[in-house]
Structure 1
Amino acid sequence: MTISTPRSSRLGLRTTPQQDTVLRRAAKLANKSLTDFILDSACQVAEQTLLDQRLFLLDGEQAQAFVELLDRPVQDNPGLQDLLSRPAPWSN
């Protein structure tokens, strides 16, 4: 990940001596500054964590059951209708 805008936010980290050694050695091997290495690594994990919340994998049987649920006719849901008829909390 290349950051093209100036960095203005600051994060502080405390590490054990072993963690510090590992991070510094890995950054050196990657030809990156310690800051760039930590930021790149943390962002990769953060993006994967966010993707894991949107992507789910199903085997063939599970996929078929999921498709069948999606294909079922719409059912009346008074609770959902009530929720959707209320103004959004942030619009007040």
Structure 2
Amino acid sequence: MSSTALRSARLGLRATPEQEAVLRRAADIAHKSMTDFILDSAYQAAEQTLLDQRLFLVSGSQSHALFDLLDRPAQDNAGLRDLFSRSVPWSN
């Protein structure tokens, strides 16, 4: 089954003639259709943006400080206890 058969969402965009020319040239070099090139490129950029929100790099000293905090025994936190005792608004 081709990837186009699985596609059901429609996306639209407008570009300047210069942007279109660059995208068309890059798609040609990559041996892809404009749609496939733009969708693949946008998808990769979106994945990277999402990863940037979950993955962060720290120095060795920052890493040790973080692990020290994680290794501490759990402490009672009244604010968190209160927060987690509340019902979630989307389940009402």
TM-score (norm 2): 0.91
- Distance in 1 (CA, whole Å) between partners of 2:26 and 2:10 is 22
Coordinate RMSD, CA, aligned? 1.5
Q: Could you list the runs of 5+ residues in structure 1 that have no partner in the other structure?
A: none
Identify if the C-alpha distance between structure 1 residues 38 and 79 changes in structure 2 by more than 3 Å, giving closer, same or farther: same
Q: More helix per residue: 1 or 2?
A: 2
Q: Aligned-pair distance for 1:71?
A: 1.0
**Hey, what's the Cα distance between the residues in 2 that align with 1:79 and 1:59?**
30
Matched, 1:37 2:16: no
AA in 2 matched with 1:49: T
Unaligned residue ranges in structure 2 (runs of 5+):
none
Counterpart in 2 of 1:9? 9
Higher relative contact order (CA 8 A, sep 6+): 1
- Structure 1 runs (4+) deviating above 4 angstroms are none
Q: How many residues align?
A: 91
How far apart, CA to CA, are the structure 1 residues paired with 2:45 and 2:5? 21
